[in-house]
Structure 1
Amino acid sequence: MGTTETVAKWIVDTPYEDIPPEAYEQAKKSILDYLGTTILGTTTEVGRQIIDFTQDQGGNPQARVIATDIRTSSAAAAFANGSIGHADDFDDLGGVGGHPATVLTPTTLAVAEQMGLSGREVLAAWAIGYEIGTRLSSNLHPDRDWHPTAIFGTMASAVAASKLMGLDVEQTRMALGIAGSEAAGLRRNFGTMTKPFHPGNAARSGVVAAKLASTGFTADPDIIEGRQGYADNFGGVKCNIPAISQTLGDYYYLASQGTRIKPWPCCGGNHQMLTGLLDLIQHYEINPDNVESIEHVGPDAPCTGALLRNEVNQGLEGKFCLRYNISAAIIDRKIDLSTFTDERASQADVQEFMERVRLSKNPDVELRREHIADGNRDARLKVQMRDGTLHDVELGTAYHLTGDEVLDKFRVNAGNVFGQERLGEPIQLVEGLADLDDIGTLMDAVTTGG
């Protein structure tokens, strides 16, 4: 039995009860965080344009767009909710290439709302989609500049939609085959409106793939492992196809590794640095006028990967520029939504301070052989003061939100659109998602129409 068939059989055969409770707790945490970032996302220019586009396109009223009164097709709703949820790059981090919730939640909510399914079914499909998407992203190791959330999210979305629609093994293989040809997304678009387009497109593509497969639409049945297929095109030199299905059903990435909730609305690649720098700022009086220079020594060549921007002219670009985040944190002593407005990005103080920030690659990594050069994640931040003081900060694990901090973030984000009196209901519904008979009840709580 090949990889695609093995995966499809596991998707079809796995019931809700087989998935560890810890996985569902992680899923609910990310779903709630996603709802908050999506409600907030409707206030952004990205959100407004996606809403206008969705209204203009129309569609059968199968599912709703969060924080609006729009009813449209389930594929269109998945696209809109996926794009808007990523508008501020404030949604969760984890498997499925990096941003699982803004792909899996729009997919599962849209399909489940159209079909009148339960919260229990949504949770199972979310967890199963997460598992396959993460097994792909953890074992293919792309070595080109694809956006991982886009290419792996498309497959994860197809998995989740197929599970909710009750597709059989052969239909699920067809859905994966269709999704394999839909998968796309380029890192060059990071720092533009097309970056949040990627997860929206992935969510829509997964819904389309499952719906077409359900009607008998065909694709190659061995898309993952087949010659000229998904792994051939998206896999790197470390691609390990057998590992995708090994321990499937015994080891759950979602339960064992979990998701991480962002404290700052920017690319997660900044967060290790921000954790160390903001801690330094709390302990020392770092006046920007007294800073001679700052050097970030990291494992990657500067301005490669997700943090590709070296100059910033717009707020969105700032989310993917390490020099900008360092400069804004030093000057403002904080990083928040106001950091990434066009107005802040254009101001002279931050633009001038960026000239004092230098990025370099860890020399230890430079000396390693190419096939293990990504094995050293050590990074340092060296803040040289004009009085001769050197703050040499060893950067460790990035900070992420837990417990009540996750609820507080949801309340702040959703509170930008909804009154505080509305925020308790979605929190309670997500917490009790497994007991929710109809996912439409949750959508009632996070939309504005009847």
Structure 2
Amino acid sequence: MTAISRFAEFVSSADVPAAARAAARDAVQDTVGVALAGAGEPAARIVQRVARADGGPGACSVLGTDLTAGPTWAALANGTAAHALDFDDMCWVSLAHPSAPLVAAGLAAGEASGASGRELLDAYVVGFEVECALGVVMNPAHYEQGWHCTSTIGAIGAAAAAARVLGLDAETTGRALSIAASEACGLKENFGTMVKPLQGGLAARNGVLAALLAREAFTASERAIDGPQGFLVAMGSAGRDAEKAIDPLGRRWEIVEGGITVKLYPSCAATHPTIDTLIDLRREHGIDPAAVEAVEIDVDPVTPTVLIHDRPATGLEGKFSLHYCAAAALASGRVGIDTFERDAMQAPAVARLVPRVAMRADERLGRESPPLTEARVRVRLAGGRTLERFVRGARGYPARPASQDELDAKFTTCARRAVSAEAAAAALDFLRALDSAASVRDLASRLAVGSAEPQPV
């Protein structure tokens, strides 16, 4: 059997366990929240305007707005919004932000087809597992070569999710996955620009488009993933043994065993170990930001290829700047959505600290953990005192999971940027009970409850 046929059989027929469905429910809640918050960001607004002009009204909701669109445009808009703040979750196996494409694709296909909440959750899980299987085969080499896994691996995962929601059989699902393999693209060089969140939206749109085309009998190669000129070879993973990753599908559930990293800071996940550490050191030692003379941060060799903006000029660049995130954490003791707004970035205390931060690659880091997850932080203070700490991971990682209260608080904070308190509460109640929801279409009506005015596009 080919990789496509193995994946397709799993996607179309896997019996999803309750624990995996529960993890998916948390992920969908988190992603809807960050999409609502991100819907007002410039990148998302531009996509919404083009969707209104080019896509017209349709059966699917564009979260945080008064706009409806067809499933491909809704997937593009919601996937972009969910990734716009870089507040969406992370998976260290796929080295991707799995949920922005998976939820945007699943929700669009689900609204178009009238799927239930449970069907959406099951679709999310099978898409997540396909992404992780590809990640095992392809990473870290694929990521290190400059590919944005959220948009490459994510397109195939999104196709799997859309195919499952639409109820496609194994043969048709296989065609959807093959089509998505040819759509997959995304470059890390565009990190810190509007293209970065767009790539999350493109993965969602491409996944939905692949499933819709496959449903209409569009043909594609059965060897599109593991053939001699297929996805693995073209994306730099020639010679990798796909069987080792595919074999556990349906027996080992990565979403349960490995888990998902929930972001508690709206910046690149590679900044989070350092942010956590500096916030803790500031609190524990009563650090006066004005007394900080230097901050030295050792990271694994991959991290500098991701955090590419030493002197960020925009909020998007700031999310991919260890220098800025470290300075902001020390200056205020917190990092939130407003940290990446213009006034915060120009604050004198932050401006003083940014040039005092140095990042250095250390070959010894990252050998026992995935890339981007370790840091050694040193803070030199006036008077000669130095504080030093090594950290692996951050709050929100599977080893230090966010509590239900933290998840709910994050959702409410994010949702309130787009809808009323009443609507946010109604949506949260709906999402917490998503596995018993008769139709995912009901989410849109919850978000409209008590809203003053939806954001016009």
TM-score range, shorter chain: over 0.9
Structure 2 regions of 5+ residues with no counterpart?
A: 397-401
The secondary structure found in structure 1 opposite 2:108 is helix
Q: What's the Cα RMSD here?
A: 2.1
CA drift of 1:97 comes to: 3.5
* Residue 84 (structure 2) pairs with residue 84 (structure 1): no
1:6-405 correspondence runs (5 A):
6-14=6-14, 18-59=15-56, 61-94=58-91, 96-141=94-139, 142=142, 143-236=144-237, 239-300=240-301, 303-304=304-305, 306-364=306-364, 378-400=374-396, 401-405=402-406
What are the Cα deviations for residues 331-387 of structure 1, in whole angstroms up to 9, with x where unaligned?
222211121113333455433422211111225359x9xxx9978965210111121
Distance 1:410 1:378 in 2: 27
One-letter code aligned to 2:197 = P
One-letter code aligned to 1:123 = L
Distance 2:86 2:347 in 1: 22
CA change 1:236–1:351 in 2 (3 A) is: farther
Distance 2:138 2:196 in 1: 22
Q: Is the 8 A contact 1:173 1:222 kept in 2?
A: no
- Normalized against structure 1, the TM-score is what? 0.93
Q: Is the 8 A contact 2:232 2:238 kept in 1?
A: no
Distance 1:40 1:373 in 2: 31
Distance 1:265 1:444 in 2: 27
Distance 2:58 2:436 in 1: 26
One-letter code aligned to 1:418 = V
CA change 1:375–1:150 in 2 (3 A) is: closer
Distance 1:239 1:398 in 2: 31
Structure 1 residues 196-205 or 41-50, which shifts more? 41-50
One-letter code aligned to 2:196 = K
CA change 1:19–1:221 in 2 (3 A) is: same
Q: Is the 8 A contact 2:307 2:320 kept in 1?
A: yes
Distance 2:97 2:303 in 1: 23
- Normalized against structure 2, the TM-score is what? 0.91
The secondary structure found in structure 2 opposite 1:383 is strand
The secondary structure found in structure 2 opposite 1:86 is helix
- The alignment-based identity, stated in percent, is 30
One-letter code aligned to 2:17 = P
Structure 1 residues 306-315 or 145-154, which shifts more? 306-315
CA change 1:176–1:302 in 2 (3 A) is: closer
One-letter code aligned to 2:25 = K
CA drift of 1:108 comes to: 0.9
Distance 1:120 1:346 in 2: 46
Distance 2:432 2:182 in 1: 36
Structure 1 residues 357-366 or 245-254, which shifts more? 357-366
1:408-427 correspondence runs (5 A):
408-427=409-428
CA change 1:65–1:222 in 2 (3 A) is: same
CA drift of 1:170 comes to: 2.2
What are the Cα deviations for residues 33-62 of structure 1, in whole angstroms up to 9, with x where unaligned?
111111111222223222212111133512
Structure 1 residues 164-173 or 264-273, which shifts more? 164-173
One-letter code aligned to 1:353 = L
Q: Is the 8 A contact 2:172 2:217 kept in 1?
A: yes
Distance 1:379 1:440 in 2: 43
Structure 1 residues 425-434 or 232-241, which shifts more? 232-241
CA change 1:68–1:220 in 2 (3 A) is: same
The secondary structure found in structure 2 opposite 1:411 is helix
CA change 1:6–1:414 in 2 (3 A) is: same
CA change 1:433–1:343 in 2 (3 A) is: same
What are the Cα deviations for residues 241-262 of structure 1, in whole angstroms up to 9, with x where unaligned?
1222111110001121222221
Structure 1 residues 288-297 or 150-159, which shifts more? 288-297
CA drift of 1:84 comes to: 0.8
What are the Cα deviations for residues 290-349 of structure 1, in whole angstroms up to 9, with x where unaligned?
222111011126621x21222211111000010111111112222111211133334554
CA drift of 1:285 comes to: 2.0
CA drift of 1:222 comes to: 1.4
Distance 1:269 1:373 in 2: 13
Distance 2:85 2:373 in 1: 26
Distance 2:210 2:425 in 1: 35
Q: In the comparison of the two structures, how many residue pairs are matched? A: 441
Distance 2:365 2:411 in 1: 39
Find the counterpart in structure 1 of residue 399 from structure 2: none
Q: Is the 8 A contact 2:270 2:373 kept in 1?
A: no
Structure 1 regions of 5+ residues with no counterpart?
A: none
CA drift of 1:106 comes to: 0.9
Q: Is the 8 A contact 2:156 2:184 kept in 1?
A: yes
Distance 1:163 1:171 in 2: 10
The secondary structure found in structure 1 opposite 2:444 is helix
CA change 1:43–1:301 in 2 (3 A) is: closer
The secondary structure found in structure 1 opposite 2:88 is coil
Distance 2:423 2:389 in 1: 43
The secondary structure found in structure 2 opposite 1:148 is coil
Q: Is the 8 A contact 2:373 2:392 kept in 1?
A: no
CA drift of 1:8 comes to: 1.0
Distance 2:436 2:361 in 1: 50
CA change 1:435–1:375 in 2 (3 A) is: closer
Q: Is the 8 A contact 2:426 2:447 kept in 1?
A: no
CA change 1:374–1:211 in 2 (3 A) is: closer
